[in-house]
Amino acid sequence: MTADRHSDPGIPGDSGTHRLPVIQSTDDNDRRVDQGRIGDYELIRKIGEGGMGVVYKALDADGQAVALKVLRAHIAHDRGARERLRREVSTLVRVRSPHVAAFLDADVDGDNPYLVTSFVPGAALDEVVEGDGPFGAARLARLGRGLADALGEIHDAGIVHRDLKPGNVLMVGDDPVLIDFGIAHVADDSRLTSTGLVMGTPGYLSPEIVEGDAVTEATDWWGWAATLAYAASGRAPFGRGPMPVVLDRVCRGEYDLSGVDPRLRPLLEAALDPDASRRPAARDVLSALDLFATGGHTGELPVLGQRRPPAERRDRRAPSTERLANARPLTDHSKAPVQPDPTERFGPQVGPHARGHVVRPADDRPVPSVAPGRFVPPRDPRIGQPSRTGTLAALLVAVTGISAVLPTVGITLLVLWAIAARWCDKSITSMVLRRYSSGPRRSDTFVAAVASPWHGVIAALATLLTVLIPAFVGGCTAAAVALIYSMVEDDSVYLGRPLPLAVGVLIGAVVMWWGPGGIPLRRGSRSIVRGVVRGQPLTQIIIGLCVVLALAGTVFALTHLTSGAAWWPISSDSSLQLQLALGRPIGN
């Protein structure tokens, strides 16, 4: 924890900052302990807080500065919150490195559950770069090697950090210390369901986290590259702006490395590949980094290798201390992973070990659901859920088939779906943000209902703006198909025939899905399908109906190559056609 770093957070969704949000406390107990004691620790000052806890600079019994995180009073007696804190402790205990946050002490069973780490007298990387400017080659190589060593230790322990960014790197001189394991992912665990997507800094969330896909070691190497790009140029590699815009750049791999040393740029470009399977393995990254440190050019990066098999990993053990004799790494991976919290700012491995509180192993019994009215740790329900790609693909081909017969209906359905998906995504995001900042409240349903019309307006406006490029691409595609058909059949060029319309709608829909502004559409579409089409039988029925519609549309398009489509409900007369004549008379 940095000694002088006061809470000056950014706002979720603002990619112009690397800091996590701080929530102002209204809890009387939080104010009461602000100048008091917790356990054997004297609280000095508050240095951070979030939805689940508060972080203080504190002094231990020997007068050594430590960082102490305590759960908020209104959730301190919630068993689910305590179990998550216990699992977080189990995660931290698994990692030992001079470049990684160190666990010192914890008491998850007392009246005020807390977690203690050492206090670091250093500034965050983003603050250092803002003050000193971009790093030179030697300093950059040292930063890269230090972070790489940290990731090696973390990965050897079977953990993926998931949140490597400038704000989570403290600089002790020129040596980095990686902090904040709030959304760390145990490799053997189920995929994390958390606020990681909503609360993370947009420009430093890897594409797989944005899309809700499985995280691997490659996720951390992506964050490593993004962090080094910032240190090398002084600019966020994916720029600034609204969260959807920045996330879209992340998923497309549209980074700006113009200020990065040309010798280092090839390595960062490879590590920032949106496809995790194409990113360099750890050994390739380290080889290229060593080459850069000695004045070489990383353009000589070898063909991307495979990651180390588990057999090559060193056996990692938890810290051995007298006071932690009963502690053990988490082995029951059937439980929900540790929930994220922006207050988890921990220091390096210095100072004494645990001082007198036994950390009991995680309870092997499943964590019970929280009763209504009790605190539910904030989470984003979209992450880690089935993507439902097959059902969505079936819906797309069904709309394509409908567009071949009734293009007005097909296009209208496509636009309405886009609005509904963005509406759904906006509503879920707003609810998660609200519960993160204030915790669950009885007024949540009322607030959601009141805000829903406004979310709908925003979704409609966003759809109207983002549909322009897909409409243009779809129109050009339809024109190209019509032109090719006219050249083959020596006929006039018509856009109003079933085949050009169907192909144009299909391509336009694909561009809408993957193009600019497509992230909210994809997340919202998956949320709708998961909520409405539940169970295998219903899914099979829906997919079957969609396939029938698609086949019917295809047959219709192929058997009506020369006739126009029906533009119902605008007109029941198929003579109402969009026509494009290219040097030929228009006629039937």
The 10s digit of each residue's pLDDT in 474-498 is 999 999 998 888 888 777 777 778 8
| pLDDT value, residue 181 | 64
Q: How sure is the predictor about 222, in pLDDT bands with cuts at 50, 70 and 90? A: very high
The pLDDT, as a whole number, for residue 352 is: 38
pLDDT tens per residue, range 328-340: 333 333 333 333 3
Q: Is the pLDDT of residue 48 over 90?
A: no
Per DSSP, the three-state class of 327 is coil
Which of 324, 360, 334, 356 is closest to 85 using CA atoms?
360
Lowest mean pLDDT across 446-450, 538-542, 549-553, 572-576: 572-576
Q: Using CA atoms, how far apart are residues 555 and 546, in angstroms rounded to an integer?
A: 14
Q: Tell me what the mean pLDDT of segment 324-331 comes to.
A: 35
**57 appears as a binding residue in the annotation:** no
Residue whose C-alpha is closest to residue 228's, from 156, 150, 345: 150
Catalytic residues: 163
| pLDDT given for residue 208 in this prediction | 86
Confidence tier at 252 by pLDDT (50, 70, 90): confident
Using pLDDT thresholds of 50, 70 and 90, give the confidence band for residue 255. very high
Decide if pLDDT at 565 tops 90: no
Torsions phi, psi of 93, nearest 5?
A: -65, -25
CATH 1.10.510.10 fits 28-324, yes or no: yes
Amino acid in the structure at residue 588? N
Read off the pLDDT band of 306 (50, 70, 90).
very low
Q: Which of 358, 355, 345, 357 is nearest to 62 (CA)?
A: 355
What integer pLDDT is reported at residue 316 of this predicted model? 34
Q: Is the pTM of this model over 0.75?
A: no
Work out the average pLDDT over 317-342: 36
> Which helix (H) or strand (E) segment is 229 a member of?
helix 217-233
Residue 146: the pLDDT is: 93
The percentage of the chain sitting over the pLDDT mark of 90, rounded to a whole number, equals: 30
Q: In which band, very low, low, confident or very high, does the pLDDT at 383 lie, cut at 50, 70 and 90?
A: low
Are 186 and 333 in contact by the 8 Å Cβ rule? The answer is yes
**Which tokens is 268 given?**
């960062």
The pLDDT, as a whole number, for residue 296 is 86
- List, in order, residues 6 or more apart from 513 with CB less than 8 Å away: 521, 522
- Please list the alpha-helical segments (H only) found in 6-158: 28-33, 79-93, 125-132, 137-156
> Among 87, 114, 115, which residue's Cα sits nearest to residue 101?
115
Residue 459's CB is within 10 A of a number of other CB atoms, namely 23
φ, ψ (nearest 5 deg) of residue 409 = -65, -45
> pLDDT band for position 380 (50/70/90)?
low
pLDDT of residue 487: 85
pLDDT band at 120; cut points 50, 70, 90 = confident
- In this prediction, residue 230 carries a pLDDT of 95
Widest pairwise Cα distance in the chain: 94
CB 66 within 8 A of CB 118: yes
Q: Where are the domains of the chain?
A: 28-324, 389-559
* Burial of 195 per CB tally in 10 Å (0-12, 13-18, 19+): buried
Cα–Cα–Cα angle for 128, 204, 126, nearest 5°?
A: 5
Q: How many CB atoms lie within 10 A of CB 317?
A: 11
User: What span, in angstroms and rounded, lies between the C-alpha atoms of 436 and 496?
Assistant: 51
pLDDT tens figures, 139-184: 999 999 999 999 998 888 888 888 899 988 989 888 998 877 655 5
DSSP per residue, 45-63: EEEEE-SSEEEEEEE-TTS
